[in-house]
A and B are shown apart, each in its own frame.
Chain A
Amino acid sequence: MKTDDLINALAADAKSVERPIAQTVAIAVGVGALVSTLIFFWSLGLRANFAESAVSSLRFLFKYVLTFSLAIPAYVLVRGLSRPDFQPGNKLWWLALAPALLLSAMGLEMLAVPSDQWHAKMVGYNSLTCLVVIPLLSFAPLAAVLYALRQGAPANPALAGAIGGLLSASIAATLYASHCRDDSPLFLAAWYTIGFVLMTGIGALAGSRILRW
Protein backbone atom coordinates (compact mmCIF):
# COMPACT_ATOMS: atom_id res chain seq x y z
CA MET A 1 0.00 0.00 0.00
CA LYS A 2 1.27 3.47 -0.81
CA THR A 3 1.53 5.96 1.99
CA ASP A 4 -1.05 8.30 0.45
CA ASP A 5 -3.48 5.39 0.19
CA LEU A 6 -2.88 4.54 3.80
CA ILE A 7 -3.66 8.15 4.69
CA ASN A 8 -6.98 7.86 2.82
CA ALA A 9 -7.87 4.84 4.90
CA LEU A 10 -6.85 6.52 8.16
CA ALA A 11 -8.83 9.66 7.31
CA ALA A 12 -11.90 7.55 6.53
CA ASP A 13 -11.53 6.10 10.03
CA ALA A 14 -11.38 9.57 11.63
CA LYS A 15 -14.47 9.01 13.77
CA SER A 16 -13.11 5.99 15.62
CA VAL A 17 -11.24 7.97 18.29
CA GLU A 18 -11.13 6.34 21.71
CA ARG A 19 -11.69 7.82 25.16
CA PRO A 20 -8.78 10.03 26.33
CA ILE A 21 -6.17 7.80 27.94
CA ALA A 22 -6.20 9.60 31.31
CA GLN A 23 -9.89 8.67 31.67
CA THR A 24 -9.20 5.05 30.72
CA VAL A 25 -6.49 4.86 33.40
CA ALA A 26 -8.78 6.43 36.01
CA ILE A 27 -11.62 4.04 35.24
CA ALA A 28 -9.30 1.02 35.25
CA VAL A 29 -7.77 1.93 38.62
CA GLY A 30 -11.26 2.53 40.03
CA VAL A 31 -12.58 -0.82 38.78
CA GLY A 32 -9.47 -2.71 39.91
CA ALA A 33 -9.62 -1.17 43.39
CA LEU A 34 -13.34 -1.90 43.63
CA VAL A 35 -12.86 -5.58 42.74
CA SER A 36 -10.11 -5.93 45.35
CA THR A 37 -12.26 -4.14 47.93
CA LEU A 38 -15.11 -6.57 47.33
CA ILE A 39 -12.75 -9.54 47.59
CA PHE A 40 -11.31 -8.05 50.76
CA PHE A 41 -14.67 -7.67 52.51
CA TRP A 42 -15.82 -11.07 51.32
CA SER A 43 -12.68 -12.89 52.51
CA LEU A 44 -11.02 -10.93 55.32
CA GLY A 45 -13.02 -7.93 56.46
CA LEU A 46 -12.06 -5.17 58.85
CA ARG A 47 -10.31 -6.05 62.07
CA ALA A 48 -12.44 -6.14 65.20
CA ASN A 49 -11.25 -2.88 66.74
CA PHE A 50 -11.12 -0.95 63.44
CA ALA A 51 -13.28 1.99 64.54
CA GLU A 52 -11.49 2.35 67.85
CA SER A 53 -8.02 2.21 66.29
CA ALA A 54 -9.00 4.69 63.63
CA VAL A 55 -9.51 7.40 66.24
CA SER A 56 -6.92 6.40 68.84
CA SER A 57 -3.88 4.75 67.28
CA LEU A 58 -1.27 6.84 65.52
CA ARG A 59 0.54 3.71 64.41
CA PHE A 60 -2.64 2.42 62.79
CA LEU A 61 -3.22 5.70 60.98
CA PHE A 62 0.38 5.79 59.81
CA LYS A 63 -0.25 2.63 57.79
CA TYR A 64 -2.62 4.64 55.61
CA VAL A 65 -0.25 7.59 55.43
CA LEU A 66 2.33 5.16 54.08
CA THR A 67 0.09 3.43 51.52
CA PHE A 68 -1.38 6.70 50.25
CA SER A 69 2.06 8.29 50.01
CA LEU A 70 2.83 5.50 47.54
CA ALA A 71 -0.51 5.19 45.80
CA ILE A 72 -0.98 8.86 44.90
CA PRO A 73 2.41 9.45 43.24
CA ALA A 74 2.21 6.02 41.59
CA TYR A 75 -1.21 6.85 40.15
CA VAL A 76 -0.10 10.23 38.79
CA LEU A 77 3.01 8.62 37.29
CA VAL A 78 1.11 5.75 35.68
CA ARG A 79 -1.33 8.21 34.15
CA GLY A 80 1.62 10.11 32.66
CA LEU A 81 3.54 7.02 31.59
CA SER A 82 0.57 5.89 29.50
CA ARG A 83 1.47 8.70 27.05
CA PRO A 84 4.47 8.40 24.73
CA ASP A 85 5.64 11.99 25.25
CA PHE A 86 5.65 11.89 29.07
CA GLN A 87 9.10 12.34 30.58
CA PRO A 88 9.12 11.16 34.19
CA GLY A 89 12.50 12.72 35.01
CA ASN A 90 12.48 14.23 38.48
CA LYS A 91 8.92 13.14 39.12
CA LEU A 92 10.21 9.68 39.99
CA TRP A 93 11.56 11.24 43.18
CA TRP A 94 7.97 11.51 44.42
CA LEU A 95 8.29 7.80 45.09
CA ALA A 96 11.02 8.52 47.65
CA LEU A 97 8.40 10.09 49.93
CA ALA A 98 7.07 6.76 51.23
CA PRO A 99 10.48 5.26 52.10
CA ALA A 100 11.44 8.53 53.81
CA LEU A 101 8.25 8.50 55.87
CA LEU A 102 8.76 4.85 56.74
CA LEU A 103 12.36 5.38 57.86
CA SER A 104 11.29 8.33 60.04
CA ALA A 105 8.50 6.29 61.58
CA MET A 106 10.89 3.41 62.26
CA GLY A 107 13.23 5.83 64.02
CA LEU A 108 10.41 7.15 66.20
CA GLU A 109 9.22 3.61 66.96
CA MET A 110 12.71 2.58 68.05
CA LEU A 111 12.81 5.56 70.39
CA ALA A 112 9.36 4.80 71.78
CA VAL A 113 9.78 1.04 72.26
CA PRO A 114 12.54 -0.60 74.37
CA SER A 115 15.07 -2.43 72.26
CA ASP A 116 14.23 -5.88 73.63
CA GLN A 117 10.78 -5.59 72.02
CA TRP A 118 11.96 -4.51 68.56
CA HIS A 119 12.19 -8.04 67.33
CA ALA A 120 8.70 -9.00 68.54
CA LYS A 121 7.24 -5.86 66.94
CA MET A 122 8.88 -6.66 63.66
CA VAL A 123 7.78 -10.29 63.58
CA GLY A 124 4.22 -9.40 64.62
CA TYR A 125 1.28 -11.83 64.51
CA ASN A 126 0.36 -11.99 60.90
CA SER A 127 3.48 -11.83 58.77
CA LEU A 128 2.65 -14.83 56.59
CA THR A 129 -0.87 -13.57 55.87
CA CYS A 130 0.58 -10.19 55.01
CA LEU A 131 3.03 -11.74 52.57
CA VAL A 132 0.29 -13.68 50.80
CA VAL A 133 -2.61 -11.26 50.92
CA ILE A 134 -0.94 -8.12 49.58
CA PRO A 135 0.09 -9.77 46.28
CA LEU A 136 -3.28 -11.56 45.99
CA LEU A 137 -5.25 -8.34 46.43
CA SER A 138 -2.90 -6.66 43.95
CA PHE A 139 -3.82 -8.78 40.97
CA ALA A 140 -7.14 -7.19 40.05
CA PRO A 141 -5.75 -3.62 40.10
CA LEU A 142 -2.60 -4.74 38.28
CA ALA A 143 -4.60 -6.44 35.53
CA ALA A 144 -6.78 -3.35 35.18
CA VAL A 145 -3.82 -0.97 35.05
CA LEU A 146 -2.00 -3.12 32.49
CA TYR A 147 -5.16 -3.23 30.38
CA ALA A 148 -5.36 0.57 30.49
CA LEU A 149 -1.66 0.94 29.65
CA ARG A 150 -2.17 -1.32 26.64
CA GLN A 151 -4.71 1.17 25.36
CA GLY A 152 -2.04 3.81 25.86
CA ALA A 153 1.39 4.14 24.31
CA PRO A 154 4.02 3.98 27.05
CA ALA A 155 7.47 5.04 25.84
CA ASN A 156 9.02 2.84 28.52
CA PRO A 157 6.94 -0.34 28.91
CA ALA A 158 8.95 -1.83 31.78
CA LEU A 159 8.84 1.36 33.84
CA ALA A 160 5.13 1.85 33.19
CA GLY A 161 4.48 -1.75 34.24
CA ALA A 162 6.66 -1.39 37.35
CA ILE A 163 4.84 1.72 38.57
CA GLY A 164 1.55 -0.02 37.75
CA GLY A 165 2.65 -2.92 39.96
CA LEU A 166 3.59 -0.55 42.76
CA LEU A 167 0.24 1.21 42.46
CA SER A 168 -1.63 -2.09 42.64
CA ALA A 169 0.37 -3.17 45.71
CA SER A 170 -0.33 0.11 47.47
CA ILE A 171 -4.06 -0.32 46.82
CA ALA A 172 -3.85 -3.89 48.16
CA ALA A 173 -1.85 -2.75 51.20
CA THR A 174 -4.40 -0.04 52.01
CA LEU A 175 -7.07 -2.75 52.16
CA TYR A 176 -4.93 -5.24 54.03
CA ALA A 177 -3.93 -2.59 56.59
CA SER A 178 -7.59 -2.45 57.67
CA HIS A 179 -7.50 -6.14 58.55
CA CYS A 180 -3.98 -6.65 59.85
CA ARG A 181 -3.43 -6.38 63.62
CA ASP A 182 0.21 -5.40 63.29
CA ASP A 183 0.64 -1.65 63.28
CA SER A 184 4.31 -1.15 64.12
CA PRO A 185 6.38 0.62 61.45
CA LEU A 186 8.95 -2.13 62.06
CA PHE A 187 6.40 -4.68 60.86
CA LEU A 188 5.55 -2.55 57.82
CA ALA A 189 9.21 -2.24 56.90
CA ALA A 190 9.81 -5.98 57.20
CA TRP A 191 6.71 -7.37 55.47
CA TYR A 192 4.67 -4.82 53.53
CA THR A 193 7.83 -3.81 51.72
CA ILE A 194 8.21 -7.32 50.33
CA GLY A 195 4.78 -7.07 48.71
CA PHE A 196 5.59 -3.67 47.21
CA VAL A 197 8.90 -4.86 45.77
CA LEU A 198 7.44 -8.13 44.49
CA MET A 199 4.53 -6.46 42.69
CA THR A 200 6.79 -3.76 41.25
CA GLY A 201 8.97 -6.51 39.80
CA ILE A 202 6.01 -8.46 38.42
CA GLY A 203 4.65 -5.26 36.90
CA ALA A 204 7.98 -4.49 35.25
CA LEU A 205 8.24 -7.99 33.78
CA ALA A 206 4.67 -7.99 32.54
CA GLY A 207 5.05 -4.47 31.20
CA SER A 208 8.17 -5.23 29.19
CA ARG A 209 6.33 -8.15 27.58
CA ILE A 210 2.84 -6.91 26.89
CA LEU A 211 3.08 -3.12 26.73
CA ARG A 212 5.02 -2.77 23.48
CA TRP A 213 3.08 -1.08 20.70
Chain B
Amino acid sequence: MRAAIAGDQDAYRRLLSELSQVLRGVVRRGFAGVGVPRGDVEDVVQDVLLAIHLKRHTWDPSLPLGPWVMAIVRNKMIDDLRRRGRRPEVPVDLNDFEFEGEDQQASIDAHDVGRVLDRLSDKNRDIVRSISIDGQSARDVAMRLGMSEVAVRVALHRSLKSLAETYQEKKA
Protein backbone atom coordinates (compact mmCIF):
# COMPACT_ATOMS: atom_id res chain seq x y z
CA MET B 1 0.00 0.00 0.00
CA ARG B 2 2.92 2.32 0.66
CA ALA B 3 4.16 1.74 -2.88
CA ALA B 4 0.62 2.23 -4.12
CA ILE B 5 0.28 5.55 -2.36
CA ALA B 6 3.58 6.56 -3.92
CA GLY B 7 1.88 5.88 -7.29
CA ASP B 8 3.29 2.41 -8.16
CA GLN B 9 0.57 1.07 -10.42
CA ASP B 10 1.74 -2.56 -10.56
CA ALA B 11 2.22 -2.88 -6.81
CA TYR B 12 -1.22 -1.38 -6.35
CA ARG B 13 -2.83 -3.82 -8.77
CA ARG B 14 -1.22 -6.76 -6.97
CA LEU B 15 -2.35 -5.46 -3.59
CA LEU B 16 -5.96 -4.93 -4.74
CA SER B 17 -6.02 -8.29 -6.39
CA GLU B 18 -4.86 -10.09 -3.23
CA LEU B 19 -7.18 -8.01 -1.08
CA SER B 20 -10.15 -8.83 -3.29
CA GLN B 21 -9.63 -12.55 -2.68
CA VAL B 22 -9.40 -12.00 1.06
CA LEU B 23 -12.43 -9.72 1.02
CA ARG B 24 -14.55 -12.21 -0.89
CA GLY B 25 -14.01 -14.75 1.88
CA VAL B 26 -14.57 -12.28 4.67
CA VAL B 27 -17.76 -10.90 3.19
CA ARG B 28 -19.14 -14.32 2.39
CA ARG B 29 -18.43 -15.57 5.89
CA GLY B 30 -19.83 -12.39 7.41
CA PHE B 31 -23.03 -12.91 5.46
CA ALA B 32 -23.19 -16.64 6.13
CA GLY B 33 -26.59 -17.62 7.44
CA VAL B 34 -28.12 -14.29 6.50
CA GLY B 35 -29.08 -15.62 3.10
CA VAL B 36 -27.36 -13.01 0.98
CA PRO B 37 -27.12 -14.07 -2.68
CA ARG B 38 -23.73 -14.66 -4.17
CA GLY B 39 -23.86 -11.80 -6.65
CA ASP B 40 -24.51 -9.42 -3.78
CA VAL B 41 -21.34 -10.58 -2.04
CA GLU B 42 -19.45 -9.49 -5.13
CA ASP B 43 -21.24 -6.12 -5.08
CA VAL B 44 -20.03 -5.53 -1.54
CA VAL B 45 -16.49 -6.61 -2.48
CA GLN B 46 -16.49 -4.05 -5.29
CA ASP B 47 -17.97 -1.40 -3.04
CA VAL B 48 -15.19 -2.08 -0.51
CA LEU B 49 -12.49 -1.95 -3.20
CA LEU B 50 -13.79 1.41 -4.38
CA ALA B 51 -13.84 2.72 -0.80
CA ILE B 52 -10.31 1.45 -0.21
CA HIS B 53 -9.26 3.28 -3.34
CA LEU B 54 -11.08 6.57 -2.74
CA LYS B 55 -10.28 6.67 0.99
CA ARG B 56 -6.70 5.40 0.95
CA HIS B 57 -5.47 8.76 2.26
CA THR B 58 -7.22 7.91 5.55
CA TRP B 59 -4.82 5.03 6.17
CA ASP B 60 -2.02 6.08 8.49
CA PRO B 61 1.13 4.38 7.08
CA SER B 62 2.55 4.07 10.61
CA LEU B 63 -0.30 1.66 11.46
CA PRO B 64 -0.96 -1.86 10.11
CA LEU B 65 -3.13 -2.06 6.98
CA GLY B 66 -5.30 -4.99 8.11
CA PRO B 67 -7.44 -3.25 10.75
CA TRP B 68 -7.99 -0.32 8.40
CA VAL B 69 -9.22 -2.62 5.63
CA MET B 70 -11.42 -4.53 8.05
CA ALA B 71 -12.93 -1.28 9.36
CA ILE B 72 -13.95 -0.43 5.80
CA VAL B 73 -15.34 -3.92 5.25
CA ARG B 74 -17.36 -3.68 8.44
CA ASN B 75 -18.77 -0.30 7.42
CA LYS B 76 -19.80 -1.53 3.97
CA MET B 77 -21.27 -4.79 5.26
CA ILE B 78 -23.31 -2.97 7.88
CA ASP B 79 -24.56 -0.60 5.18
CA ASP B 80 -25.53 -3.50 3.01
CA LEU B 81 -27.40 -5.27 5.81
CA ARG B 82 -29.11 -2.05 6.84
CA ARG B 83 -30.35 -1.70 3.29
CA ARG B 84 -31.85 -5.15 3.62
CA GLY B 85 -33.45 -4.13 6.89
CA ARG B 86 -31.50 -6.51 9.06
CA ARG B 87 -29.94 -5.95 12.40
CA PRO B 88 -26.61 -4.23 11.70
CA GLU B 89 -24.42 -6.50 13.80
CA VAL B 90 -21.46 -7.74 11.85
CA PRO B 91 -18.70 -9.43 13.75
CA VAL B 92 -15.57 -9.01 11.69
CA ASP B 93 -12.19 -9.87 13.08
CA LEU B 94 -8.73 -10.35 11.74
CA ASN B 95 -8.96 -14.13 12.00
CA ASP B 96 -11.21 -13.89 8.98
CA PHE B 97 -8.17 -12.99 6.92
CA GLU B 98 -7.66 -15.95 4.63
CA PHE B 99 -7.62 -16.60 0.94
CA GLU B 100 -10.28 -18.01 -1.31
CA GLY B 101 -9.39 -20.52 -3.98
CA GLU B 102 -9.25 -19.87 -7.72
CA ASP B 103 -12.46 -21.77 -8.39
CA GLN B 104 -14.40 -19.08 -6.53
CA GLN B 105 -12.83 -16.50 -8.77
CA ALA B 106 -14.03 -18.30 -11.87
CA SER B 107 -17.62 -18.52 -10.74
CA ILE B 108 -17.62 -14.89 -9.82
CA ASP B 109 -16.17 -13.75 -13.11
CA ALA B 110 -19.39 -14.94 -14.67
CA HIS B 111 -21.20 -12.35 -12.63
CA ASP B 112 -21.31 -9.05 -14.39
CA VAL B 113 -22.29 -5.86 -12.61
CA GLY B 114 -22.37 -3.83 -15.79
CA ARG B 115 -25.33 -1.81 -14.62
CA VAL B 116 -23.18 0.36 -12.38
CA LEU B 117 -21.52 1.68 -15.51
CA ASP B 118 -24.82 2.78 -17.01
CA ARG B 119 -24.80 5.98 -15.01
CA LEU B 120 -21.63 7.30 -16.59
CA SER B 121 -21.61 9.57 -19.65
CA ASP B 122 -20.83 7.78 -22.93
CA LYS B 123 -17.28 9.08 -23.06
CA ASN B 124 -16.52 8.23 -19.43
CA ARG B 125 -18.00 4.78 -19.85
CA ASP B 126 -15.80 4.30 -22.90
CA ILE B 127 -12.73 5.38 -20.90
CA VAL B 128 -13.53 3.12 -17.95
CA ARG B 129 -14.29 0.16 -20.23
CA SER B 130 -11.15 0.59 -22.30
CA ILE B 131 -8.91 0.76 -19.25
CA SER B 132 -10.62 -1.85 -17.11
CA ILE B 133 -12.02 -4.46 -19.46
CA ASP B 134 -9.75 -4.05 -22.48
CA GLY B 135 -6.71 -3.34 -20.33
CA GLN B 136 -5.55 -0.33 -22.33
CA SER B 137 -3.26 2.26 -20.78
CA ALA B 138 -4.43 5.81 -20.14
CA ARG B 139 -2.06 6.95 -22.87
CA ASP B 140 -3.58 4.62 -25.50
CA VAL B 141 -7.05 5.78 -24.61
CA ALA B 142 -5.95 9.41 -24.78
CA MET B 143 -4.50 8.87 -28.28
CA ARG B 144 -7.61 7.12 -29.50
CA LEU B 145 -10.01 9.76 -28.18
CA GLY B 146 -7.77 12.71 -29.03
CA MET B 147 -7.62 13.81 -25.40
CA SER B 148 -4.63 14.55 -23.22
CA GLU B 149 -3.48 11.76 -20.92
CA VAL B 150 -4.15 13.97 -17.91
CA ALA B 151 -7.74 14.54 -19.05
CA VAL B 152 -8.22 10.78 -19.36
CA ARG B 153 -6.87 10.27 -15.85
CA VAL B 154 -9.13 12.96 -14.45
CA ALA B 155 -12.15 11.46 -16.25
CA LEU B 156 -11.24 8.04 -14.89
CA HIS B 157 -10.96 9.36 -11.33
CA ARG B 158 -14.29 11.19 -11.58
CA SER B 159 -15.93 8.08 -12.99
CA LEU B 160 -14.66 5.97 -10.09
CA LYS B 161 -16.08 8.49 -7.64
CA SER B 162 -19.41 8.38 -9.38
CA LEU B 163 -19.36 4.57 -9.33
CA ALA B 164 -18.89 4.75 -5.56
CA GLU B 165 -21.85 7.12 -5.38
CA THR B 166 -23.94 4.70 -7.39
CA TYR B 167 -23.31 2.10 -4.71
CA GLN B 168 -24.23 4.69 -2.07
CA GLU B 169 -27.52 5.49 -3.76
CA LYS B 170 -28.47 1.87 -4.03
CA LYS B 171 -28.35 1.96 -0.26
CA ALA B 172 -30.62 4.92 0.16
Same complex: yes
CB <8 Å contact, B108 and A3? yes
How many residues on A have C-beta within 8 angstroms of the other chain's C-beta atoms? Answer: 33
CB <8 Å contact, A9 and B132? yes
> Is A19 at the interface (CB under 8 A from chain B)?
yes
CB <8 Å contact, B116 and A13? no
Chain A residues in 8 Å Cβ range of B7: 14-15, 17
> Is A152 at the interface (CB under 8 A from chain B)?
yes
> Is B56 at the interface (CB under 8 A from chain A)?
yes
Indicate with 1 or 0, residue by residue over A1-29, a CB within 8 angstroms of chain B CB atoms: 11111111111111111111110100000
Known: A1-B133, A12-B137. A17 touches B5 (CB 8 A): yes
**How distant is the Cα of A10 from the Cα of B58 in the complex, in angstroms?**
17
> Is B75 at the interface (CB under 8 A from chain A)?
yes
CB <8 Å contact, B58 and A84? yes
B60 to chain A, nearest CB (A): 7
Chain B residues in 8 Å Cβ range of A3: 20, 42, 45-46, 49, 108-109
**How distant is the Cα of A15 from the Cα of B111 in the complex, in angstroms?**
29
Chain B residues in 8 Å Cβ range of A155: 71, 74-75
CB <8 Å contact, B168 and A4? no
> Is B53 at the interface (CB under 8 A from chain A)?
yes
Interface centre among A6, A21, A82, A152, by most B CB within 10 Å?
A6
- Using CB atoms, name the residue of chain A closest to B20: A3
**How distant is the Cα of A88 from the Cα of B169 in the complex, in angstroms?**
29
A8 to chain B, nearest CB (A): 4
**How distant is the Cα of A15 from the Cα of B157 in the complex, in angstroms?**
10
> Is B50 at the interface (CB under 8 A from chain A)?
yes
Indicate with 1 or 0, residue by residue over B63-91, a CB within 8 angstroms of chain A CB atoms: 10001101110110001000000000000
Residue from B51, B70, B132, B159 within 8 A of A153 (CB atoms): B51
Chain B residues in 8 Å Cβ range of A212: 79, 168
CB <8 Å contact, B57 and A11? no
**How distant is the Cα of A155 from the Cα of B74 in the complex, in angstroms?**
9
Chain A residues in 8 Å Cβ range of B135: 8
> Is B22 at the interface (CB under 8 A from chain A)?
no
CB <8 Å contact, A84 and B71? yes
- Using CB atoms, name the residue of chain B closest to A157: B75
Residue from B42, B46, B72, B157 within 8 A of A13 (CB atoms): B157
CB <8 Å contact, A12 and B131? yes
Residue from A1, A17, A21, A151 within 8 A of B132 (CB atoms): A1
CB <8 Å contact, B50 and A20? no
- Using CB atoms, name the residue of chain B closest to A21: B58
Residue from A11, A82, A83 within 8 A of B16 (CB atoms): A11
Residue from B49, B51, B128 within 8 A of A7 (CB atoms): B49
Chain A residues in 8 Å Cβ range of B128: 1, 9
Chain B residues in 8 Å Cβ range of A15: 7, 9, 153
A61 to chain B, nearest CB (A): 36
B146 to chain A, nearest CB (A): 19
> Is A42 at the interface (CB under 8 A from chain B)?
no
11 A-B pairs (CB sep. < 8 Å) = A3-B45, A7-B16, A8-B13, A12-B153, A15-B153, A82-B58, A83-B58, A85-B71, A155-B74, A213-B75, A213-B168
Binding site for B on A (CB under 8 A): 1-22, 24, 82-85, 151-153, 155, 212-213
List 6 additional contacts besides A1-B117, A13-B156; criterion CB under 8 Å.
Answer: A1-B112, A1-B116, A2-B109, A9-B156, A14-B7, A14-B8
